[in-house]
Amino acid sequence: MAEAVVTAPAISGSPAWKGVWRALDALCAAVSPEVGHQLAFQVIFLRCWPTPVGAGLARILGPAEPALSSVWTRLGLDRSVGSGVTGGAQARRLHQEADRALAAVIAEVERLEETRGLFDACLDLYSSRFGTGGDYYTPPPLARLMAGLAAPRAGDRVLDPACGSGRLLIAAEQWARKQDHCAGVLSLHGRDIRPEACRAAAMNLMLHGLHHDLGEGAVDSLRTTPVNLLADTVLVNPPLNAKDWEGGGLIGDPPWSLGTPPKGNANFAWVQHALNRLSSEGRAVVLLPDSATRSLNTAETQIRRRLVENDLLAGVVALPARQFPHTRTGTTLWLFSKDKRASDRWGRRSRVGETLFVDARQLGARAGRSARRLADEDIDLICSVFTSWRGISSDEDGSEPRDLSWCRSVRQDDIARRGYDLGPGSYVQTPFAALGPTMSEGQHRLAKDTLYERFDDTARISQQLRHVLETEDGPW
């Protein structure tokens, strides 16, 4: 990973934190950015953790890293969170320049009067600078939306098999707590393939005062199934379009009841993994690239068809462009349910044989130069459409959602006629068509972002076609 540093983006929060980000820049120039940020996470965690032990780090004489590791071990955090990035107390020393840079980070963090939100800001800073593929953390607004769509309830078991920083688990707890007006209402389980992510998740969950199960260590969720764990809610933001998931070694395994995913793309492997971990009335929300809704790959088309025919797909939400600063890839949220019959867990309104399509691409506002963010009112609006559709809204009459041109409930036969294209834009009025000749600057920008996505799709399809032709007929 490149070690070039950049100016901290707008998401870095309070102006009082600028000194922390400058010191972090210097640390990342002296060590790898991954190690630099992991050390910063530890320092910030100790500053925010409700114990006086971490508050004295800046006054300890001698090298900074041994002091940090010593405090970490003395508090027992190497057992509950994991050993430090440098391998635990006394395992390895930073070179002199790097250790001085770490000491500067400690000093800047210690002198802050207000640290609320600092850990979150550091997570976002890491993602905006170095996010690639699956190596990024879910933005808080997206985590809140995913939790709201799943709508977990008190007593639910919640699983995130690619938990990253733990934000989806935290958002699920916050959603359930808001609905049930009590704390500690969920059983939270997370897994991740990266030990660094597991440590970040553990720190984040502990800072929110949440009990959790993150397993015995880093695991590949597509290959390692939690024993006896069936979840009521599965939330997952997996690596998009992952090509190196070694699907060939899993061909023919029982998990692929809807069809074997292609070797070169793990999107529908994650979908089936989420479904396999659901209880009989469970729900899952999975983030997928926009291309998954209409991929021409035969295996993926077959899986989409079976998702619809087996009535597992409850809804698809097309998200605004640029949800992630490191990629232009368009994204969608897929809501799955094992049982859409009217019930206490689903809602008063049966939706057997129906799927709700929501085109929310026109929502959200620009956040910095390379991202868009959904506002709280956007999230509430999307979630209210789904709760009303299911019949779990606060409306006593359980009435249908109000007429919104960008939402539509679609029957299975209509989806079949469209070749199992699951893009919301195929079923609801395209927002841009109704804008007329006087589009605002924001609308122009959104239309341009969508056009960029189409360019990306065209380039990807062309590349796949070229690969197929070269494989079958040799170079041409």
**Phi, psi dihedrals of residue 233, rounded to the nearest 5°:** -140, 130
CA 437 to chain centre: 36
Q: CA 275, CA 269: separation in Å to the nearest integer?
A: 10
Here the tokens at position 249 are 């070694």
- DSSP, collapsed to helix, strand or coil, labels residue 94 as coil
Break the chain into its structural domains and give their ranges.
Answer: 10-130, 140-434
State pLDDT tens for residues 106-153. Answer: 999 998 988 999 999 999 888 877 766 556 789 899 999 999 999 999
Q: Are 163 and 240 in contact (CB under 8 A)?
A: no
User: What integer pLDDT is reported at residue 329 of this predicted model?
Assistant: 77
Share of the chain above pLDDT 70, in %: 74
Cβ atoms of 336 and 288 within 8 Å: the answer is no
- Pairing mode of beta strands 365-366, 331-337: unpaired
Residue 104: pLDDT band (50, 70, 90) is very high
Q: Which pLDDT score is estimated for 202?
A: 93
Q: In angstroms, what CA-CA distances link 343 with 88, 186, 275, 277?
A: 50, 21, 20, 21
* Dihedral pair phi/psi, residue 18, rounded to 5°: -60, -35
Supply angle C-alpha 59, 63, 68, rounded to 5: 70
Strand partners, 287: 333
From 100, 120, 121, 147, select the one nearest 13 (Cα to Cα).
121
Please, are residues 281 and 345 in contact by the beta-carbon 8 Å criterion? Answer: yes
| Residues in CB range of 244: below 8 A, 6 or more apart | none
> How many Cα atoms occupy the beta-carbon half-sphere of 60 within 13 Å?
21
Question: What is the arrangement of strands in the sheet containing 331-337, beginning at the earlier edge strand?
Answer: 187-190, 157-160, 231-236, 278-289, 331-337, 313-318, 354-359, 407-411
Range 164-173 average pLDDT? 95
Mean pLDDT score of the chain, rounded to an integer?
81
Confidence of residue 445 (pLDDT cuts 50, 70, 90): very low
CA distance 141 to 218: 26
DSSP, res 319 = P
pLDDT at 54: 54
Q: What angle do CA 23, 29, 34 make, to 5 degrees?
A: 90
| pTM score over 0.85 | no
CA separation, residue 65 to residues 51, 60, 85, 91 (Å): 19, 11, 10, 10
Instruction: Tell me the C-alpha distance between 58 and 110, whole Å.
Output: 7
pLDDT of residue 433: 38
Residue 282, phi then psi, degrees to nearest 5? -75, 165
Q: Is the pLDDT of residue 447 over 50?
A: no
Closest-CA residue to 390 (of 428, 335, 324, 440): 335
| Per-residue pLDDT tens over the stretch 325-362 | 666 778 999 999 999 999 999 999 999 999 999 999 98
pLDDT at 97 exceeding the cut of 80: yes
How many other CB atoms are there within 10 angstroms of residue 121's CB atom? Answer: 20
Q: Do 196 and 86 form a contact (C-beta atoms < 8 A)?
A: no
Residue pair 184/210 in contact by the 8 Å Cβ criterion: yes
The architecture (CATH level 2) of 140-434 comes to 3-Layer(aba) Sandwich (3.40)
**pLDDT(208) > 70:** yes
Q: What is the pLDDT of residues 407-431, one digit of tens each?
A: 999 999 999 999 999 999 999 975 5
Please, what's the b/e burial string for 310-342 (b: 16 or more CB within 10 A of its CB; e: otherwise)? ebbbbbbbbbbbbbbbbbebbbbbbbbbbbbee
- What would the pLDDT profile of 247-275 be if each residue is shown by its tens digit? 545 544 457 889 999 988 999 999 999 99
Bigger pLDDT: 381 vs 182? 381
What is the pLDDT, as a whole number, of residue 14?
78
Which residues, other chains included, contact 76 with Cβ-Cβ below 8 Å and sequence gap of 6+? none
CA distance 242 to 292: 12
pLDDT value of residue 432: 43
Quick one: what percent of the chain has pLDDT higher than 90?
50
- Is residue 464 exposed (0-12), middle (13-18) or buried (19+ Cβ within 10 Å)? middle
pLDDT reported for residue 74 = 80
Cα 41–chain centre separation: 19
Distance CA 176, CA 380 (A): 15
Tell me the H-state helices in 259-328.
267-276, 298-309
Q: Are 358 and 407 in contact (CB under 8 A)?
A: yes
CB 295 within 8 A of CB 268: no
| Residue reference for tokens 């600092």 | 118
